Amino acid sequence: MSTPTITLNNGVAIPQLGFGTYKLPAADTRDLVLRAFDAGYRHVDTAQMYRNERAVGEAVAASGLARDEVFVTSKLNNAFHAHDDALAAFDRTLDELRLDVVDLFLIHWPLPALDRYTEAWGALEEIYGSGRARAIGVSNFQPDHLQRVLDAGTVVPAVNQVEVHPWFANAEVRELDAAHGIVTEAWSPLGRGRVLDDPTITRIAAARSRTPAQVVLRWHVQNGHVVFPKSATPSRIVENARIFDFELSDADLASISALDRGARTGSHPDHENRTDR
């Protein structure tokens, strides 16, 4: 079953399901990405910070898939917000991925204490202007960070990749994204596995003869999010892709949305200021 796409604000189509690669075992990353392609994924989410762009690039090359059949995202690491550093880091990303053009390139974290993300955005706009990224966007941008980029920049970010899952709705960010035609990508869509034992989710899963992970991913899809669950377990890689042949009811969606308890699994973007990763 082919993955639906969402059209970004510049007309580029992004597959709504991708494969997350953060903390995949380094020695297995290439093979796991190839397994994901076999399972039907056509979108891979990597980052300079993950130190696995090379393995992702090897998998894309070995897959035999045409370049326009695979959507690859990477992200600018925190040490490179200065304009020239961002351009140089982007060149390294293309080398590592063995690509001439990346589909989506993001600023990974705003690092408000450093306060150079508008400078980094200027570099991404140049990269976009050169045609070497088909779309550009941001990640972990809170409303005030996003507003500054909108005010300072000339390109509206195509996406904002932020933490979202049933226990963390991140509603204010999602609403601002939507108001500007920015697609919300939900990182840690399964709450790193923590939401899967929630009784509401296990009840809906049992009623639909689906797994809790499939129910959570389906909730994201029906809310219009782009998702890229991560798993190093082959059976789960397949399981997580089988989410396009069933539907949750409005009541199911509302029950899952009501689970929000403001529980982040990752850093708060206002307090993430590390540049040494």
Closest CA to 183 of 238, 234, 228, 229: 228
Task: Indicate whether 3 belongs to the interface with ligand NAD (CB under 6 A).
Answer: no
Quote the crossing angle between the two packed helices 199-208 and 212-222, to the nearest 10°.
Answer: 90
Cβ proximity of 10 and 219 under 8 Å: no
Span interacting with ligand NAD, options 27-35, 115-123, 141-149, 227-235, rule CB under 6 A: 227-235
Paired with 104 in beta bridges are 73, 135
Which of residues 129 and 206 has its CB atom nearest to ligand NAD in the complex?
206
Measured in whole angstroms, the distance separating CA 159 from the mean position of its chain's CA atoms is: 9
Task: Indicate whether 187 belongs to the interface with ligand NAD (CB under 6 A).
Answer: yes
Cβ proximity of 212 and 197 under 8 Å: yes
Task: Indicate whether 240 belongs to the interface with ligand NAD (CB under 6 A).
Answer: yes
Instruction: Name the minimum Å distance from CB 169 to ligand NAD.
Output: 15
The contacts of residue 171 (CB under 8 Å, 6+ apart) are 260
Task: Indicate whether 238 belongs to the interface with ligand NAD (CB under 6 A).
Answer: no
Task: Indicate whether 196 belongs to the interface with ligand NAD (CB under 6 A).
Answer: yes
Instruction: Name the minimum Å distance from CB 163 to ligand NAD.
Output: 7
Task: Indicate whether 213 belongs to the interface with ligand NAD (CB under 6 A).
Answer: yes
Task: Indicate whether 266 belongs to the interface with ligand NAD (CB under 6 A).
Answer: yes
Structure-token match 């995949």, residue found:
24
Residues that bind ligand NAD (CB under 6 A): 20-22, 45, 108, 139-140, 161, 187-193, 196, 213, 228-231, 236, 239-240, 266
